[in-house]
Amino acid sequence: MTRKRINVGLIGLGTVGGGVARLLLEQQRRLSDYLGAELTLARAADRDPALAQGLDLPAGVLVADGAAVVADPQVDIVVELIGGLEPARAFVLAAIAGGKHVATANKALLAHHGREIFLAARQKGVGVAFEASVGGGIPLIRSLREGLAANDISHCLGILNGTCNFILSKMTAEGAAYADVLAQAQQEGYAEADPTFDVAGTDTAHKLAIIAALVTGRQPELNDISTEGITKIAPLDIQLAGEFGFKVKLLAVLRKVGQAVELRVHPTLVPLGHPMASVDGPFNALFVEGDWVGEVLLYGRGAGRRPTASAVVGDVLDLARDVLCGCPGRVPPLGSAAEPEGPLALAPLDQTVCKYYFRFAAQDKPGVLAAISAVLAEHRISIEAVIQKGREEAGPVPIVMLTHEANEAAVQRALARINALPFIAEDTMFIRVAG
């Protein structure tokens, strides 16, 4: 009996794209038997033909322009792996307009243009799959969209950037400075030559935008997500956090508070007993709290050629199944069949309520602690614990406080007052605490 053929067109043969091509070619027989149809890499495009060396692509498969992949009438599924916004957006929309299904790992594209892409797919009746866009090889998207669909998810905490987690883990284990660990991360291939996209929190914010869309059914405006990176974290903060019983992690936070939704990315103190505190090195994790399932932890390798290629090909198989069953778009991209009501409105950051870590750099003189405490009390900020270090060398000494829950706006007003006091040597370091 002749089996139906599903043709895949791949745009981009870089690190992940090359891995996808290799997986599709080397495991074609196994994947086809699993699917019950011939799964074939029919077209692969990259402007740099050198990237195809060693892939052993069949004759006629390699082309220079992604537009040729999109325009090929024999291609059923287009896999976009070039990254960035353009021409990736143009390729994806053109594929959808041509009735082709799309798999992508492009978190920036979905964070910026997800609404447009998902609407186009809905109107055309095709599927869009993006498991590899968040969490690499972790089945995170599928879990939120399908496995946990029965739940009202109230809270998510994500460690979603392996570069930042590697740096903070190394700083914690070795007591090394940020700049030194960053250089090591670059040497070992965990950080780019220009690491800004990662260490400033931008990559994590893109991924949080996608998670928020899956949880709420509405896409947030990326610029509305409060985003801070890890560049200001000092070894002293990591050491003192440990004395309080915490680790410092860069977290993506989603929290529903009444009818509002908080979305924020920032360094966070995580209690040592929390599952997220044990996520170290380049690994990623998402902690989810649902009203029926309770607490769920999704953990694994968040990047890399093989884990990410695994997720992409998993998406290709899902899309191919829908084609074979004649039910493309069976699962909407965001899970919900409800029409989105516009962008997701976010609660302002200044309404956030959580605990805080403060590190003041102050002159070692009588009355300093009392003066700081008085300003905090004026702003209804209650102190839970204090560590005051003695002088080890000339200069200011650290006074470190952990607060009870306080309002962000009040915290910002109090710190502005404290930073202006004559005995404060530098702006106060503050880190939010996971709740």
Q: Which residues are CB-contacts of 296 (< 8 A; sequence separation ≥ 6)?
A: 143, 148, 287, 288, 289, 290
Percentage of the residues of the chain whose pLDDT score is greater than 70: 99
How far apart are alpha carbons 64 and 356 in whole angstroms? 53
Measured CA distances, 419 to 297, 423, 426, 433 (Å): 39, 9, 7, 21
Residues 268 and 122: beta-carbon distance below 8 Å: no
pLDDT band at 390 (very low <50, low <70, confident <90, very high): low
How far apart are alpha carbons 191 and 184 in whole angstroms? 9
pLDDT band at 1 (very low <50, low <70, confident <90, very high): low
What are the DSSP calls for 194-251, one per residue?
S-HHHHTSHHHHHHHHHHHHHHHSSPBPGGGSEE--STT--HHHHHHHHHHTEEEEEE
Does 148 score more than 70 pLDDT?
Answer: yes
| Cα torsion angle, 159, 239, 269, 267, sign | negative
Residue 393 confidence (pLDDT): 65
Residue 227 confidence (pLDDT): 98
Place of tokens 């690190």: 15
How far apart are alpha carbons 246 and 256 in whole angstroms? 24
Residues in the chain: 435
In what helix (H) or strand (E) does residue 178 lie, and over which residues does it extend?
Answer: helix 178-187
How far apart are alpha carbons 275 and 370 in whole angstroms? 37
pLDDT band at 276 (very low <50, low <70, confident <90, very high): very high
Whole-prediction pTM: 0.96
Residue 195 confidence (pLDDT): 96
Q: Return the structure tokens found at 83.
A: 């990254």
Residue 392 confidence (pLDDT): 60
- Is residue 158 annotated as involved in ligand binding? no
Q: Return the structure tokens found at 270.
A: 């995580």
pLDDT in tens, 40-71: 999 999 999 999 998 999 999 999 999 999 99
Domains of the chain: 5-139+305-325 (3.40.50.720), 140-301 (3.30.360.10), 349-433 (3.30.70.260)
Does 88 score more than 90 pLDDT?
Answer: yes
How far from the centroid of its chain's Cα atoms is residue 254's Cα?
12
Place of tokens 């007003």: 413
pLDDT in tens, 281-290: 999 999 999 9
Catalytic one of 207, 232, 249, 365 = 207
Phi, psi for 399 (deg, rounded to 5): -115, 120
Residue 197 confidence (pLDDT): 96
- Is residue 13 annotated as involved in ligand binding? yes
- Is residue 368 annotated as involved in ligand binding? no
Residues 283 and 244: beta-carbon distance below 8 Å: no
Does 258 score more than 90 pLDDT?
Answer: no
Q: How many CB atoms lie within 10 A of CB 276?
A: 20
Q: Which of 39-48, 246-255, 362-371 bottoms out in mean pLDDT, i.e. has the lowest?
A: 362-371
**DSSP structure class, residue 105:** -
Q: Return the structure tokens found at 278.
A: 């044990």
Measured CA distances, 299 to 91, 105, 145, 164, 283 (Å): 32, 18, 17, 16, 7
- As a whole number, mean pLDDT of residues 121-128 equals 94
How far apart are alpha carbons 138 and 302 in whole angstroms? 7
Helix 107-124 crosses helix 88-97 at what angle (to 10 degrees)? 10
- Is residue 17 annotated as involved in ligand binding? yes
Q: What is the mean pLDDT of the chain?
A: 95
Q: Return the structure tokens found at 420.
A: 């202006």
- Is residue 14 annotated as involved in ligand binding? yes
Q: Which residues are CB-contacts of 145 (< 8 A; sequence separation ≥ 6)?
A: 214, 331, 334, 335
- Is residue 387 annotated as involved in ligand binding? no
How far apart are alpha carbons 296 and 314 in whole angstroms? 22
207 catalytically annotated: yes
Measured CA distances, 92 to 73, 78, 101, 319, 418 (Å): 15, 8, 9, 15, 51
Rg of the Cα atoms in the chain: 24
Q: Which of 78-87, 109-118, 351-360, 392-401 bottoms out in mean pLDDT, i.e. has the lowest?
A: 392-401
- Is residue 331 annotated as involved in ligand binding? no
Does 391 score more than 70 pLDDT?
Answer: no
- Is residue 192 annotated as involved in ligand binding? yes
C-alpha closest to that of 388 among 377, 397, 378, 376: 397
Does 313 score more than 80 pLDDT?
Answer: yes
Q: Which residues are CB-contacts of 160 (< 8 A; sequence separation ≥ 6)?
A: 134, 135, 203, 204, 207, 208, 252, 284, 286, 302
For residue 434, give the amino acid letter: A
